[in-house]
Amino acid sequence: MAMAVQPALRNVDRVISSALDSYAGHHDRAIEVPLTEVCDRRLPAEISEVLCVVAGAQRLVEMVVDYEPDCEVLVPAVWALAGRGWDTVALVPLERLGEAHQALRGAPCRLQPWWLEGDDIQFGCWEIP
């Protein structure tokens, strides 16, 4: 007998799925894109594969961070996107919110904490670092 095995979703995948569902619920179009495709500069290896939710009509990039990389490596990408007219939000695990505030202080972005509640992703309010 063959059994279908569904791989467990990574937290990043859950956050992205939840964010995309939220946009769809508001009848907005958003897509999942690697940060390297939205940023016009060479990025450090630690963040080259950071996934983002991009809402083009709103000119908004939501960078999804899990438990790596260190938040300060996001700073060049935030500034590069701001220079091209994009607003950015760093979606960070609630446990890393303090680190994100310190690392991104003064950068033109917002922070939004996320956490798991059962199998569901929950989001907190936007904050300014």
User: At 122, which amino acid appears?
Assistant: Q
Could you tell me the pTM of the whole model? 0.87
Cβ atoms 71, 99 nearer than 8 A: yes
pLDDT score, position 9: 54
For 4-124, strand residue ranges (E) read 31-34, 51-55, 60-64, 87-93, 110-117, 120-123
Task: Report the alpha-carbon distance of residue 16 to residue 63 in Å, rounded.
Answer: 9
pLDDT score, position 51: 93
pLDDT score, position 119: 87
Mean pLDDT by 10 residues, the chain (129 residues): 48 94 89 89 78 94 90 92 96 96 97 94 96
